[in-house]
Amino acid sequence: MEQLHEAEELLRGQAQLWQHMFAFADSMALKCAVELRIPDIMHSHSSPITMSQIASSMDSSSHPDISYLTRIMRLLVRRKIFSAHRPSDGGETLYGLTHVSRWLVNDSDKSLAPLFLLENHPLMMDPWHRFSQSVKEGGFAFKKEHGSEVFEFASQNPEFNSMFNSGMASTSRVTIHAILEGYKDGFGCIGSVVDVGGGTGNLVSEIVKSHPHIKGINFDLPHVVATAPEYNGVTHVGGDMFEAIPNADAVIIKWILHDWGDEDCVKILKNCRKAIAEREGKVIIVEVILKPEGNEVFEDTGLVLDLVMIAHSSGGKERTEIEWKKLLEKGGFPRYNIIKIPALTSIIEAYPQ
């Protein structure tokens, strides 16, 4: 009996290994669907559609191989990314969107399609093949593969830079929606807020739009804010967060600290502390909080995102609550609250006393 159980476990282990071996196939099949704009085609119809309708709605200059497309969609239906239903009258199978593929509709302001295409582009995938080299030698996987760090590489490659910016903007929009929905009460008691590393000002402008009493400051490198559009109630300020941060009642810093090592994070947090010192304000940190043993909806993604930081960042990482607590204390914030929002990230509300 024991030998039979062992044989069954070994067989399951082999099956699991096959799944891991070809795990990339899920991403590649879905990348194909996004490139062909299948979610957009389905969204443009008011009801599920046939494979023939999908094919005929593609670029008119193409001649889709429906047999290939059917096989790719078969896997994506099994993964519940698309739905499939065979009518009772024996007609063609009808395909539709699910709660997964709705996030890939380009026309939506919550679309993650640009980020999906970015993360699965060969230029972003190649550094993953450098992991073992990075473990043995140290150093950054992206730089080992491409000869420069990701932001420098983007500045020298306009096409990649455009794709990179589109991907970052898409996830930023989703996160902004989650912040405004899940932290609406957190902005009521502040008169001013500075967004550190705010890019062209999307986040702070949305905060001010929802809370018109707030004076917004968008803070980033001079060449970044130089291209920022004007927003009512928002001032753009150029500078370096490692040197000084503009004063405000509150500092918000979204998905910035995970790009940096602990020592650099402490420097940034100390400057955040100085920026709110006279006002006894707070710092609003929007980041992933890792829970390696957790079973909530985004826990696995957090661990994977930590590996993305190995692949693409220059010393950055995702952190557990204990790691965040240590950083906050060193940065001058002995007290904090964690607030969950409907997103991959959470809010860490940190106070100087």
pTM, rounded to two decimals: 0.90
pLDDT, one tens digit per residue, over 48-84 is 999 999 999 998 777 889 999 999 999 999 999 999 9
> With bands split at pLDDT 50, 70 and 90, how would you rate the model's confidence at 91?
confident
Mean pLDDT of the chain: 94
Please indicate whether residue 177 is annotated as part of the active site. Answer: no
One DSSP character per residue, 178-238 reads HHHHHSGGGGTT-SEEEEET-TTSHHHHHHHHH-TTSEEEEEE-HHHHTTPPP-TTEEEEE
pLDDT digits 0-9 by tens, 19-57:
999 999 999 999 999 999 999 999 999 899 999 999 999
Where do the domains of the chain lie, and which CATH numbers do they carry? 1-103 (1.10.10.10), 112-351 (3.40.50.150)
First to last CA, the chain: 62
Predicted pLDDT of residue 107: 85
Per residue in 278-300, pLDDT tens?
667 999 999 999 998 878 889 89
The residue from 43, 236, 258, 312 that is catalytic is: 258
pLDDT given for residue 279 in this prediction: 65
pLDDT over 80 (residue 276)? yes
Which residue reads 């810093």 in tokens?
Answer: 253
Average pLDDT over residues 190-219: 96
